[in-house]
Amino acid sequence: MPTAAVTGVRAALAAQPRFPLATLPTPLHDAVRLREALGGPSRCPRILIKRDDLTSLGLGGNKARKLEYLVADAQSAGATTLITTGAVQSNHARMTAAAACVAGLRSVLVLTTTTAEPAIAGNLLLDHLFGASVRLVPSVDPMLAVGQDEAVVAEVVTAEKAAGRTPYVIPIGGSSAIGVFGYVGGTAELVDQLNDMGVAPTRLYFASGSRGTQAGLTLGAKACGATYAVMGIAVSAGEAEKIERAKRIANEAATRLGLPERVDLPELVTDQEYIGEGYGIPTKAGLEAIALLARTEAILLDPCYTSKGMAALVDHVRSGLMSPAETVIFLHTGGVPAIFTDGHREDLLRASVALL
Ligand SMILES: *Cc1c(COP(=O)(O)O)cnc(C)c1O
């Protein structure tokens, strides 16, 4: 039975236009072999993995939940073309291209790249398969190209209009107030599953990037009366500006949904300890986490996001930060196509061999 709080949140979301893209609900998996590998029930909390890598749309991931509301908004605006930005291996860009296919729209992706001719692999290969028009923007640091890619987006918007089409620009990561609805809904789904199982987890771990997921999870947890603390693990720098964005879009989403809850900056702070050298650069602990999850659960993590989120969880278990009596959740946000790119293959193999 859903709680009154969850029923209220669901009713608020039901009043918003939504274009179905994801296969929901996603499974909530009890990771018993992972728990065993981390010392068993006497040393390690129970770990539940929320499988949002299995949202289905174009190989899945967290962006499917946001895109359901963003695509519906684009359709309400009479859009013919979805335009978005990201790094060259952006999961969000790949899933936007996939969503465009399903919704019968065009897609243009403006992608920043540190190499002149990036390999057509992983997400970039899928972008092409999904028929996206790809505009590459060279940059020394994918995260510092924001000003540059904005100028290219403006060009694309002008060109689309000149061709008689109606563009709809989705911000990086799909992190707008409308995108936030996705993880308010994701939280309602999760809290229902937890109630059905009769468990009250203490923490929810996930990899935090552009903060739309965090904004939705934090607002959702408050509005649904969730028992857990939202543990965002940062995968890129720029905390000060990003938590301001998270607060703005979370509260704008709350207003649009007619929810009374508001979130403030201290609730949106992320853990900066697991970023490593920077966005998109795998860490040793992250690669070990990929090998560990593959070996114990046959669940694949990605080198950019989920590996760093799981590295934090594993570290917190090993350092005794949590009691084994706790139950914790790991939200698997997807990203698997990036495994099939260059740059980390040898290290991943080494991490896997080290577990033998
Ligand atoms: C985009 C993404 C995230 C982060 O989500 P944000 O809403 O951008 O913070 C985490 N994991 C994966 C695999 C992603 O693609």
C-alpha 163 – ligand 1 centre gap (Å) = 33
Q: Where are any strands of DSSP class E within 80-234? A: 81-87, 106-113, 133-138, 167-170, 203-208, 229-234
Q: Give the residue numbers annotated as catalytic, written as ranges.
A: 90
In this structure, the number of other CB atoms found within 10 A of the CB of residue 212 comes to 33
- Predicted local confidence at residue 146, as pLDDT: 57
Does ligand 1 have an atom closer than 6 angstroms to the CB of 337? no
What distance in angstroms lies between residue 242's CA and the mean position of ligand 1's atoms?
A: 13
- Quick one: CA dihedral 19, 16, 212, 190, positive or negative? negative
Q: Is the CB of 167 under 6 A from ligand 1?
A: no
Amino acid at 173: G
Ligand 1 atom closest to the Cα of residue 334 is 13
Could you tell me the distance, in angstroms and rounded to a whole number, from the CA of residue 257 to the centre of ligand 1? 23
Read off the amino acid at residue 257. Answer: L
62 within ligand 1 shell (Cβ under 6 A): yes
- Alpha helical stretches, state H, 130-172: 146-162
Instruction: Tell me the two tokens of residue 341.
Output: 């790119």
Residue nearest to atom 15 of ligand 1 (CA): 91
92 lines ligand 1 (CB under 6 A): yes
Q: Which pair of tokens denotes residue 323? A: 């009691």
- The bridge status of strand 203-208 relative to strand 229-234 is parallel
Asked if residue 207 has its Cβ within 6 Å of ligand 1, the reply is yes
Ordered per-residue pLDDT tens for the chain, 356 residues: 889 999 999 999 999 999 999 999 999 999 999 999 999 999 999 999 999 999 999 999 999 999 999 999 999 999 999 999 999 999 999 999 999 999 999 999 999 998 889 999 999 999 999 999 999 998 876 665 556 788 999 999 999 999 999 999 999 999 999 999 999 999 999 999 999 999 999 999 999 999 999 999 999 999 999 999 999 999 999 999 999 999 999 999 999 999 999 999 999 999 999 999 999 999 999 999 999 999 999 999 999 999 999 999 999 999 999 999 999 999 999 999 999 998 888 899 999 999 87
Distance 333 CA to ligand 1 centre (A): 6
CA of 65 to the centre of ligand 1 (A): 11
201 lines ligand 1 (CB under 6 A): no
Instruction: Please give the pLDDT value at position 344.
Output: 85
User: Could you tell which of 69, 204, 213, 306 is best to mutate to test the pocket of ligand 1, judged by most ligand atoms within 8 Å of the CB?
Assistant: 213
Ligand 1 atom with least separation from CA of 207: 10
Backbone angles phi, psi at 229, to 5 degrees: -85, 140
Alpha carbon nearest to ligand 1 atom 4, residue: 209
Run of H or E residues at 64? helix 63-76
Q: Considering only CA atoms, which of 121, 211, 222 is closest in space to residue 174?
A: 211
Instruction: Name the H helices within 228-328.
Output: 239-257, 284-297, 306-318
Q: Kind of pairing, strands 46-51 and 28-30?
A: antiparallel
Ligand 1: centre distance to CA 268 (Å):
15
